[in-house]
């Protein structure tokens, strides 16, 4: 209807009835959205979300100006309305916080919020943002009290209307009215689309499988009940879009989890020569997923032996069952209590992965581990499991401490207790020559490329020699196979 009215307005006849109708319709639409944001209790939700907060500001600017222009026209006629159009346009074009500057900020915030969310079905950035927010149980629980079907119903109705609407179309309709008097309209760039996800990265498709299928079946019907059912086993939001997270810390002490897609996905059948460790890790993680007793795990041994790769393979194996990985640095161990409290009520299971863990003799950072390992007065969340890797089994360097002296023996016992609190400690041995050949040939077999055993072994030895790998490991094999496979494909 708005498009038809705009066409009638712009045909040069100055149909005042069409102008009046266009103003009335647009004022009604913008006003309805602003009213519903308040009536549904979503104002705090909108104001706490950067792109939605900017969307509100744009709507409020539009509503205020539309009402002013409507009053000018009714009281003073078209000539003064056209003068107001020019006045407003000049003011907003030059203002640092004007409508057009605000629109560009809005576009940027929408894009930043959804650009990496490859698990979501919508390609339209605006629709993807709405889906990301609506399905996030944490966001909804902070806005609705209590969270139930009755409270969700008007919220879902609002999001359904926004999902079918277009901020770009609303803004253009508003600017079309301004163009009547100004004779021009600055370009307003759309929010844009996101291409499909990268299949090689295989992000978990929880939302796509559950919500997208329901959209295709019967749209938004019974959406509150669908969300309540979905939240039984899924947190939604970023936790259903990403398999792994890193920690972002701010100067004021706050922190945030940032979703990431691994650069490489590993399956356990790609890891050769560590079958015993693989089976123990799989069994322990299966227990963790099914909320049975599971051990915190220390993977220790030589460099390049598959310790970190084993953890990535766990994520790949159990991501569809709700396993998520949080990479935590040694410096962030002090955040474990806060992480435990934050994640405690989420249905997913989280592995806290600390790579290359070790403590200097004078360091006291190891004490932060007590908040998650056995022996602490704090009960850690049941959905958190710590897996650490290290080059040695003794995590704390003991230096020149002598157990013959009571005070030094006590310190040694305290530091040894950190190692012992890991219920499962798995040793990764640097492969000897025969084991290394099994890894080499097994990795080559998985590429599907034909090769000569003797030639492949010769090429590998040359690779190790020329790249100064004096003690080749499984990592060396992986590096060689990656290069060898690329050369074969190029030829």
Which among 399, 394, 391 is positioned nearest to 422, based on CA atoms? 394
pLDDT digits (tens, 9 = 90+) for 144-166: 888 899 989 999 999 999 988 89
Residue 61: C-alpha distances to residues 100, 168, 289 (Å): 11, 15, 50
pLDDT, tens only, 377-402: 456 678 999 999 988 766 665 555 55
- The answer to whether residue 432 scores a pLDDT higher than 90 is no
Most confident of 44-58, 185-199, 365-379: 44-58
Q: How far apart are CA 75 and CA 202, in angstroms?
A: 61
DSSP-assigned beta bridge partners for residue 325: 244, 351
The pLDDT score that the predictor gives to residue 15 is 79
For 298, other C-beta atoms within 10 Å of its C-beta total 25
Strand order across the beta sheet in which 323-327 lies = 255-260, 244-249, 323-327, 349-354, 384-390, 297-301, 424-428
Rounded-to-integer distance, Cα 135 and Cα 207, Å: 9
Q: Taking a C-beta distance cutoff of 8 angstroms, is the pair 388, 354 a contact?
A: yes
Looking at residue 404, its pLDDT comes to 59
Query: Which residues, including other chains, have CB under 8 Å from residue 98's CB and lie 6 or more apart?
Result: 91, 92
The strand pairing partners of 396, in sequence order, are 359
Lowest mean pLDDT among 85-94, 352-361, 363-372, 447-456: 363-372
Residue 74 pLDDT: 92
Residue 415 has pLDDT above 80, yes or no: no
Quick: pLDDT tens for 286-299: 999 999 999 999 99
> 381 and 340 in contact (C-beta within 8 Å)?
yes
Is residue 144 a contact partner of residue 154, using CB atoms and an 8 Å limit? no
For the chain, the average pLDDT equals 81
Q: Which residue has the higher pLDDT, 393 or 92?
A: 92
Q: Is the pLDDT of residue 198 over 50?
A: no
In the DSSP assignment, the letter for residue 210 is I
| Confidence (pLDDT) at 51 | 95
How many C-beta neighbours within 10 Å does residue 58 have? 19
What lies within 8 Å, CB to CB, of 148 at 6+ separation is 228
Distance CA 314, CA 286 (A): 10
* Confidence (pLDDT) at 350: 95
Q: 208 pLDDT exceeds 50?
A: yes
For 162-186, write each residue's pLDDT tens digit: 988 899 999 999 998 888 887 777 7
- Report pLDDT digits (tens) over 72-82: 999 999 889 99
Task: Spell out where 346-478 has E strands.
Answer: 349-354, 384-390, 424-428
**Token couple for 401:** 């401490």
Q: What is the number of other CB atoms lying within 10 angstroms of the CB of residue 464? A: 19
Place of tokens 């056209």: 82
**3-state SS class at 109:** helix
């Amino acid at each position: 209807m708005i498009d038809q009215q705009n066409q009638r307005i712009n045909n040069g006849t100055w149909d005042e009835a069409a102008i009046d109708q266009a103003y009335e319709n647009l004022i009604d639409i913008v006003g309805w959205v602003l009213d519903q944001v308040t009536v549904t209790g979503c104002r705090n939700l909108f104001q706490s979300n950067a792109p939605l907060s900017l969307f509100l500001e744009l709507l409020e600017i539009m509503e205020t100006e539309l009402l002013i222009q409507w009053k000018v026209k009714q009281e003073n006629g078209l000539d003064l309305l056209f003068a107001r159009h020019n006045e407003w346009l000049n003011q907003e074009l030059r203002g640092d916080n004007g409508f057009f500057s605000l629109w560009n900020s809005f576009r940027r915030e929408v894009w930043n919020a959804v650009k990496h969310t490859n698990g979501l079905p919508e390609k339209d950035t605006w629709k993807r943002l709405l889906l990301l927010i609506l399905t996030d149980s944490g966001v909804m629980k902070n806005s609705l009290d209590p969270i139930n079907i009755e409270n969700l119903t008007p919220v879902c109705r609002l999001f359904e209307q926004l999902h079918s609407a277009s901020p770009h179309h609303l803004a253009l309709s508003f600017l079309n009215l301004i163009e009547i008097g100004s004779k021009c309209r600055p370009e307003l760039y759309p929010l844009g689309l996101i291409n499909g996800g990268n299949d090689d990265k295989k992000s978990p498709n929880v939302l796509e499988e559950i919500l997208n299928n329901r959209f295709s079946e019967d749209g938004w019907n019974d959406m509150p009940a669908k969300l309540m059912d979905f939240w039984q086993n899924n947190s939604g939001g970023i936790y259903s879009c990403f398999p792994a997270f890193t920690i972002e810390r701010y100067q004021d002490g706050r922190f945030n989890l940032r979703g990431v897609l691994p650069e490489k996905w590993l399956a356990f059948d790609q890891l050769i020569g560590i079958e015993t460790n693989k089976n123990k890790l799989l069994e322990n993680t299966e227990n963790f997923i099914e909320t049975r007793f599971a051990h915190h795990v220390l993977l220790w041994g030589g460099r390049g032996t598959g310790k970190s790769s084993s953890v990535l393979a766990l994520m790949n194996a159990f991501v569809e069952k709700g396993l998520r990985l949080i990479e935590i640095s040694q410096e962030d161990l002090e955040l474990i209590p806060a992480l435990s409290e934050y994640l405690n009520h989420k249905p997913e299971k989280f592995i806290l992965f600390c790579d290359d863990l070790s403590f200097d003799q004078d360091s006291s950072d190891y004490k932060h581990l007590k908040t998650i390992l056995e022996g602490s007065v704090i009960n850690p969340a049941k959905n958190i499991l710590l897996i650490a890797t290290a080059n040695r089994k003794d995590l704390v360097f003991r230096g020149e401490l002598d157990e013959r002296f009571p005070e030094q023996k006590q310190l040694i016992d305290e530091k040894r207790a950190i190692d012992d609190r890991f219920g499962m400690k798995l040793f990764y041995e640097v492969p000897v020559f025969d084991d290394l050949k099994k890894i080499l040939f097994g990795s080559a077999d998985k590429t599907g490329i034909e090769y000569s055993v003797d030639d492949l072994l010769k090429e590998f030895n040359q690779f190790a020699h020329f790249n100064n790998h004096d003690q080749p490991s499984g990592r060396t094999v992986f590096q060689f196979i990656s290069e060898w496979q690329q050369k074969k494909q190029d030829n």
